[in-house]
Structure 1
Protein backbone atom coordinates (compact mmCIF):
# COMPACT_ATOMS: atom_id res chain seq x y z
CA UNK A 1 0.00 0.00 0.00
CA UNK A 2 1.36 3.40 -0.98
CA UNK A 3 1.24 6.25 1.51
CA UNK A 4 0.92 9.39 -0.54
CA UNK A 5 1.27 12.67 1.26
CA UNK A 6 -0.79 15.52 -0.10
CA UNK A 7 0.79 18.95 0.27
CA UNK A 8 -0.98 22.27 -0.13
CA UNK A 9 -0.64 24.25 -3.34
CA UNK A 10 1.67 26.73 -1.61
CA UNK A 11 3.96 24.02 -0.18
CA UNK A 12 7.15 23.74 -2.26
CA UNK A 13 7.28 19.98 -1.59
CA UNK A 14 4.18 19.53 -3.72
CA UNK A 15 5.98 21.01 -6.69
CA UNK A 16 9.42 19.53 -6.07
CA UNK A 17 7.98 16.02 -5.74
CA UNK A 18 6.20 16.32 -9.07
CA UNK A 19 9.24 17.76 -10.82
CA UNK A 20 11.52 15.09 -9.35
CA UNK A 21 9.30 12.38 -10.77
CA UNK A 22 9.31 14.05 -14.18
CA UNK A 23 13.10 14.51 -14.15
CA UNK A 24 13.62 10.88 -13.18
CA UNK A 25 11.30 9.73 -15.94
CA UNK A 26 13.08 11.70 -18.64
CA UNK A 27 16.51 10.65 -17.34
CA UNK A 28 15.48 6.99 -17.40
CA UNK A 29 14.14 7.41 -20.91
CA UNK A 30 17.41 8.98 -22.08
CA UNK A 31 19.52 6.21 -20.49
CA UNK A 32 17.32 3.55 -22.04
CA UNK A 33 17.66 5.10 -25.49
CA UNK A 34 21.48 5.16 -25.41
CA UNK A 35 21.50 1.52 -26.49
CA UNK A 36 19.04 2.16 -29.29
CA UNK A 37 21.22 4.50 -31.32
CA UNK A 38 24.51 3.83 -33.08
CA UNK A 39 25.73 7.41 -33.42
CA UNK A 40 28.37 8.05 -30.71
CA UNK A 41 27.46 11.76 -30.58
CA UNK A 42 23.81 10.92 -30.00
CA UNK A 43 24.81 8.40 -27.32
CA UNK A 44 26.94 11.05 -25.60
CA UNK A 45 24.10 13.55 -25.79
CA UNK A 46 21.63 11.09 -24.27
CA UNK A 47 24.07 10.16 -21.48
CA UNK A 48 24.78 13.82 -20.76
CA UNK A 49 21.07 14.57 -20.70
CA UNK A 50 20.46 11.80 -18.17
CA UNK A 51 23.38 12.86 -15.96
CA UNK A 52 22.32 16.51 -15.92
CA UNK A 53 18.71 15.65 -15.12
CA UNK A 54 19.76 13.30 -12.31
CA UNK A 55 22.03 16.04 -10.95
CA UNK A 56 19.10 18.45 -10.98
CA UNK A 57 16.93 15.84 -9.26
CA UNK A 58 19.62 15.55 -6.57
CA UNK A 59 19.45 19.32 -6.08
CA UNK A 60 15.69 18.98 -5.49
CA UNK A 61 16.35 16.18 -2.97
CA UNK A 62 18.82 18.39 -1.10
CA UNK A 63 16.39 21.31 -1.17
CA UNK A 64 13.67 19.11 0.34
CA UNK A 65 16.01 17.76 3.04
CA UNK A 66 17.10 21.26 4.02
CA UNK A 67 13.49 22.39 4.00
CA UNK A 68 12.41 19.51 6.23
CA UNK A 69 15.04 20.47 8.80
CA UNK A 70 13.87 24.08 8.70
CA UNK A 71 10.20 23.06 8.93
CA UNK A 72 10.95 20.79 11.90
CA UNK A 73 12.78 23.59 13.72
CA UNK A 74 9.89 25.98 13.12
CA UNK A 75 7.26 23.65 14.59
Structure 2
Protein backbone atom coordinates (compact mmCIF):
# COMPACT_ATOMS: atom_id res chain seq x y z
CA UNK A 1 0.00 0.00 0.00
CA UNK A 2 1.26 3.48 -0.86
CA UNK A 3 1.78 5.80 2.08
CA UNK A 4 0.65 9.42 2.12
CA UNK A 5 4.28 10.59 1.95
CA UNK A 6 4.81 8.48 -1.18
CA UNK A 7 1.96 10.30 -2.88
CA UNK A 8 3.39 13.75 -2.23
CA UNK A 9 5.55 15.10 -5.09
CA UNK A 10 7.99 16.79 -2.70
CA UNK A 11 8.92 13.42 -1.22
CA UNK A 12 10.04 12.25 -4.66
CA UNK A 13 11.75 15.46 -5.74
CA UNK A 14 13.80 15.52 -2.56
CA UNK A 15 14.80 11.88 -2.97
CA UNK A 16 15.94 12.52 -6.54
CA UNK A 17 17.89 15.61 -5.50
CA UNK A 18 19.67 13.58 -2.83
CA UNK A 19 20.55 10.79 -5.24
CA UNK A 20 21.72 13.22 -7.90
CA UNK A 21 23.92 15.04 -5.36
CA UNK A 22 25.44 11.73 -4.26
CA UNK A 23 26.33 10.96 -7.89
CA UNK A 24 27.69 14.48 -8.43
CA UNK A 25 29.89 14.13 -5.35
CA UNK A 26 31.11 10.71 -6.50
CA UNK A 27 31.98 12.00 -9.98
CA UNK A 28 33.88 14.97 -8.61
CA UNK A 29 35.77 12.81 -6.10
CA UNK A 30 36.81 10.47 -8.90
CA UNK A 31 38.29 13.33 -10.92
CA UNK A 32 41.27 13.29 -8.55
CA UNK A 33 41.61 9.50 -8.85
CA UNK A 34 42.19 9.29 -12.61
CA UNK A 35 45.03 10.56 -14.75
CA UNK A 36 43.38 10.74 -18.16
CA UNK A 37 42.38 14.35 -18.99
CA UNK A 38 39.48 13.27 -21.20
CA UNK A 39 37.99 11.16 -18.42
CA UNK A 40 38.41 14.01 -15.93
CA UNK A 41 36.54 16.26 -18.37
CA UNK A 42 33.82 13.62 -18.81
CA UNK A 43 33.35 13.34 -15.04
CA UNK A 44 33.16 17.12 -14.63
CA UNK A 45 30.75 17.47 -17.56
CA UNK A 46 28.54 14.72 -16.16
CA UNK A 47 28.55 16.40 -12.73
CA UNK A 48 27.53 19.72 -14.32
CA UNK A 49 24.70 18.11 -16.29
CA UNK A 50 23.40 16.32 -13.21
CA UNK A 51 23.63 19.60 -11.29
CA UNK A 52 21.33 21.15 -13.87
CA UNK A 53 18.90 18.27 -13.51
CA UNK A 54 19.01 18.60 -9.73
CA UNK A 55 18.19 22.30 -10.11
CA UNK A 56 15.24 21.42 -12.35
CA UNK A 57 13.84 19.17 -9.60
CA UNK A 58 14.33 21.99 -7.09
CA UNK A 59 12.65 24.51 -9.40
CA UNK A 60 9.71 22.14 -9.85
CA UNK A 61 9.42 21.68 -6.09
CA UNK A 62 9.54 25.43 -5.45
CA UNK A 63 7.53 26.34 -8.58
CA UNK A 64 10.33 28.78 -9.55
CA UNK A 65 9.80 28.39 -13.29
CA UNK A 66 6.63 29.37 -15.12
CA UNK A 67 6.47 25.88 -16.66
CA UNK A 68 5.98 24.37 -13.19
CA UNK A 69 3.19 26.70 -12.11
CA UNK A 70 -0.28 25.25 -12.42
TM over 0.5: yes
TM-score bin, normalised by smaller chain: 0.7 to 0.9
Q: Any unmatched runs of 5+ in structure 1?
A: 1-6, 71-75
Question: Please, what is the CA RMSD of the aligned residues?
Answer: 1.6
Q: Any unmatched runs of 5+ in structure 2?
A: none
How many pairs are equivalent?
62
TM-score w.r.t. structure 2 length? 0.81
Larger Rg: 1
Deviation of 1:19 (Å): 0.6
Return the structure number with greater relative CO, CA threshold 8 A, min gap 6.
2
Superposed structure 1 runs of 4+ greater than 6 Å apart: none
